[in-house]
Structure 1
Amino acid sequence: MSTLPPPEPTPAGPGVPPPQLVRSPLSDGEWHRLHPLTPLLRGGLFLIVVIGIVFANLRDRLLYIFLPWLAPGVGDEVVEWEQVGGDPVDFIIANNLYVLAGVAVLAVLIVLVAVFYTSWRFHTFRITDDDVEVRSGILFRTQRRAPLDRVQGVNLTRPMIARLLGMAKLEVVGAGTDANVKLEYLSTANAEAVRADILRLASGRRLAMTAGPGGAAAPRQAGRVASLSQTVGREITGLIEGPEAPVAERESVVHIPVGRLVASHVLSASTLGLLFAVVAIVIGVSQGVTWLLLGFVPAIIGFGAYWVRSIVRSLRYSIAPTPDGVRITFGLFTTITEIVPPGRVHAVEVTQGVFWRPAGWWTIRINRLTGRSAADSTTDQFTTVLPVGTAADVERVLRLLQPSLPDDERALIVRQGMFGPTDDDTFTNTPKRAWWIRPFSYRRNGFRLTDDVLLMRRGVVWRKLVILPLARLQSFGLYQGPLDRASRVTNVRAHVVTGPVSPFLAAVDRDSALALFDDVARGSVRATLADRTHRWAEDETVPTPPPGAVPAALVSTARDLDVPAGPPPAGPVTVGTAAPPVPPPPAGYTVAAEPGKDRA
């Protein structure tokens, strides 16, 4: 017996999202402005930098005026400068032009404030049922648009100063280079609601979960000035206790102790290189080679800053399932929360360095479309989904990233893929005749193909396991050089979106590689035709559940992970249209390139 969905209300106009799908009044299809304090964060920081430069250049004069006892020898120099009038400040003092200088400074400030205010007035955005649009610019207008069916994720970033003011930056990740649409800044409550609306609209859901009858907007706050002091106090407390999270969201399935995080950075190859550099400096200076100090000390200071920044950025890490994908949160002072919708992970790599092996630690990185350029140094923080964790942590994270894998297959991935080879190894490894190509790792170097994923295992010093969903595969290639032909082996490479994961495997038996090529072509076509994750809730008819409810699939995932489940839905969940069975490809069917289409 099927449950028919209630009729959907007719939208107010073309492009206006259905009222059941949105909670925020900013998601009504009309143009809205950003938070009024946006110019303070975007332009005010520029003024702070300018004031800092002025103070740096006038430090001697300021010491003479306010703290003369700290620099008694500066007074005579300042008096001499003022008498000579060698710079603009001395000229103003020598000619008694204080009033004119004050008027000039005030005029410049008024112009800057007017420019910032005008820029804020011209910076608008709107959210329709098809896309997110942003218009900006005074003289030169710019309009950016992110189609909802191509959204790769929605990131919510809260820099420390913006966090103290109760504001956040929302970034809609698009499916291309420099394709992201940024809303900076919104209030934290509005940013959370708008992010949920964007993901709900992108999911293709017919009837969304609403906060109450008819969809509720966020409660109106008492007043901006009155609530600002409360927000600052609450956020200062949050810097100590941790970032607040909505009550309805689930707890993290992985908890990383601070000691493990610090130790993982200490036990790394970069730390070993730093120790060698320090020893070289000490030996060189003792031998009279003083230029080593000028060459290596700045590099050591830079490495130390990077080391500390990496640790601080990974603090308060959490990963948990949500109705719209995997929620990843990290950061101590600047808190970043990103939600990766289903089907947006193109490759997964589980890695263990030789220094982490005694402790049994692993890290997980993914390839995904970040919407940023390759030169953007912040891209790496959006591709590391597990900074450091145990094998049990890896299994929990893989359960979130690849929920379609059966439990026995996932256990096999951990046992044979990460720790293998084992006595009952099911991977196809490098033949013994090609041991000289991979002399240390040829016993571990191999692949395994399932109905959903392609596994590539390699490395001994740095163990690596690459998991490639067949539905996300772009193409698959075989490469063979003259030495490979002599040993009857070949190299295989899967082509996915650019990222830290390199899906490459060398020294594979030639006949096995040819069979793998055909099997991957068939499997990727079949997986692509059956894949529906690009619109992950399009076929669902979900009655209005209580706040905090999670779809049944994610409830079962959370139960398997021993995560306390939220309240169950208040009604049955029915599927309107099931995916038709995919017939097997005809005999002899092969695909030479692009066996699967990427649903970005």
Structure 2
Amino acid sequence: MAPAPANGAAHRPPPPPAPARAPQEVEDDDVTRGSHQPHWATVPFQVLLVSLVFIAVPGPLLIGFGPGWLLLSTLAVALGTTVYALLSWWNSSFGLRDDHLVVHSGVVRRGSREVPLSRLQAVDVVRPLLMQILGLAELRIELAGGDASCVRLRYLSRRTAERLRASLLAHAAGLSGTTPEAPEWPLYRLPFGLLLGALAFRLPVLGAFVLFLVLMVAGISSGEPGVLGAAVPLLLGLMQGFIGPLLRYTDFYASRSPDGLRLRYGIFQARMQTVPPGRVQAVQIVEPLLWRALGVARVDANVAGYVGERQMDSSTLLPVVPRGVAYALVGEVFPGADAARVALRPARRGGSAHDALGLDDRLFVSRRGLLCRVTEIVPLARVQSIRLTAGPISRRRGVADVDADTPPGPIRARAVGRDLAEARRVVDAVAERGHAARTTTAGPERWATRGEGRGPVS
């Protein structure tokens, strides 16, 4: 699918009307009222999962005492898991109360959690392969407040998870939870051939593959099994660097909606990720050497709410995309900004010819790297602090580095080797313009109810 226009007026056909549903279906699907429990398939799912783990781990040891011991032990584990799963399912519930999500859980130690939806950062619907077979889904709700702030509602029906996701986003936008799901418009669909070629067309992957072939040929021709053993780590590295991303981003589809950027991808773990407006703190466009020949890039972001491993797992907005679409996405997540028009000035001394810095009224842009060119883009309204650093040797040379600090994530916007006077001017300009941008830009809470908020994404 061709990328949709990034800017301009919304010459877009209105979304198709939602199909009418019977009153009973609407009532069954209404997650905005009352208390709800996880799907009943939670119990057999947990029993099956624990039984398979038991057979796989201690099972080979128990089989030595005879098949009967293994069978009885497995039945005992399955029975105990069934009792615990039933009690856990019975004591688990969730529901919406005003502007809060209330979650009850626990068997021995009961817990109750009340989540203010005004602090919602992102909502993901995750469906591993076994859940896809059983028609289940997990809803992951990211909130402001650190690593312990993530709320996971496991083993919901797919329709319930998607309806609850829409209600949570509506509440976070300041709308009623019964508001119909916002329409969406296509942004980009990743062709499988482009994904396959881009993942293979990388220097580490090509180098590891050539070295793997050399070791295989050498081991077979010399008859030395030790040489073949040395190829195993290379094969594992290839699987992690090529097969893993291939399976993860197959069937990748990105769309734009008034409630944020929607991403769908994955085979063995299907995922629907929704990033509400204003949650993206910084963006980087990564262009490896061989990718530049293809005119494609990868787009990563620091997304508020994701921390630690979840931040790294959810930082990629577009895995492989034409360079023009990558810059168009920057205009989507940072409305009114045009990173492609920011003039970049190369470092005069102390840095390489590939280090550059650009600044306008909205964006701080830095570029670095020869083999892998990385362009880091931070809106001035999101800059948490601006730093000028210069060691003793750098001061004698008259150069300094400028860092634009953002919330945690893979992006660390830094311009190295700048002239000391220029670096001071940049720091002063970012501080002044950033203050002006923050005073004129509303926060990301309840974006749909503000008169100055952004309308439907065009």
If the length of structure 1 is used for normalisation, what is the TM-score? Answer: 0.65
The equivalences for 1:255-270 within 5 A come to: 255-270=189-204
Name the SS of the counterpart of 1:451 in structure 2: coil
Q: Specify whether residues 348 and 105 from structure 1 end up closer, same or farther in structure 2 by C-alpha distance, changes over 3 A only.
A: closer
Residue 162 (structure 1) aligned to one of 131, 142, 150:
131
Alignment correspondent of 2:444: 534
Alignment correspondent of 2:411: 501
Alignment correspondent of 2:121: 152
Superimposed CA distance per residue, residues 485-537 of structure 1 (whole angstroms, 9 cap, x where no aligned partner): 12211001111112111211100111111111111111221222222241212
Letter in 2 for 1:389: V
Relative to structure 2, which stretch is displaced further, 153-162 or 43-52? 43-52
What is the alpha-carbon distance in structure 2 between the residues aligned to residue 140 and residue 159 of structure 1?
28
1:319 aligns with 2:319: no
Letter in 1 for 2:45: L
Q: Specify whether residues 137 and 295 from structure 1 end up closer, same or farther in structure 2 by C-alpha distance, changes over 3 A only.
A: farther
What is the alpha-carbon distance in structure 2 between the residues aligned to residue 130 and residue 136 of structure 1?
20
Q: CA deviation at 1:401?
A: 1.5
Q: CA deviation at 1:337?
A: 0.7
Q: Is the 8 A contact 2:37 2:89 kept in 1?
A: yes
Superimposed CA distance per residue, residues 515-567 of structure 1 (whole angstroms, 9 cap, x where no aligned partner): 111111112212222222412123259xxxxxxxxx98325x1xxxxxxxxxx
Q: Is the 8 A contact 1:319 1:329 kept in 2?
A: yes
Residue correspondences, number: 429
The equivalences for 1:92-241 within 5 A come to: 108-175=77-144, 176-205=146-175, 210-211=179-180
Q: Is the 8 A contact 2:283 2:378 kept in 1?
A: yes
Q: Is the 8 A contact 1:457 1:464 kept in 2?
A: yes
The equivalences for 1:5-16 within 5 A come to: none
Letter in 2 for 1:39: V
Q: Is the 8 A contact 1:452 1:471 kept in 2?
A: yes
Superimposed CA distance per residue, residues 98-135 of structure 1 (whole angstroms, 9 cap, x where no aligned partner): xxx98876555333211110011122223223332323
Q: Specify whether residues 351 and 104 from structure 1 end up closer, same or farther in structure 2 by C-alpha distance, changes over 3 A only.
A: closer
- How large is the Cα RMSD of the aligned pairs? 3.0
Q: Specify whether residues 145 and 43 from structure 1 end up closer, same or farther in structure 2 by C-alpha distance, changes over 3 A only.
A: farther
What is the alpha-carbon distance in structure 2 between the residues aligned to residue 484 and residue 54 of structure 1?
60
Letter in 1 for 2:41: L
What is the alpha-carbon distance in structure 2 between the residues aligned to residue 396 and residue 118 of structure 1?
50
Q: CA deviation at 1:352?
A: 0.7
Name the SS of the counterpart of 2:189 in structure 1: coil
Letter in 1 for 2:66: V
What is the alpha-carbon distance in structure 1 between the residues aligned to residue 77 and residue 352 of structure 2?
69
The equivalences for 1:143-542 within 5 A come to: 143-175=112-144, 176-205=146-175, 210-211=179-180, 249-275=183-209, 277-278=211-212, 281-282=215-216, 285=219, 291-372=226-307, 374=308, 376=309, 379-405=311-337, 409-413=338-342, 426-431=343-348, 434=349, 437-441=350-354, 445-535=355-445, 536-540=447-451
Name the SS of the counterpart of 1:33 in structure 2: coil
Residue 37 (structure 2) aligned to one of 33, 40, 50:
33
Q: Percent identity?
A: 27
Alignment correspondent of 1:554: 456
Name the SS of the counterpart of 2:439 in structure 1: helix
Q: CA deviation at 1:343?
A: 0.9
Q: Is the 8 A contact 1:267 1:355 kept in 2?
A: yes
Q: Larger strand proportion, structure 1 or 2?
A: 2
Q: Specify whether residues 438 and 136 from structure 1 end up closer, same or farther in structure 2 by C-alpha distance, changes over 3 A only.
A: same
Unmatched runs of 5 consecutive residues or more in structure 2: 1-26
Unmatched runs of 5 consecutive residues or more in structure 1: 1-21, 60-86, 94-100, 212-245, 414-425, 542-550, 558-600
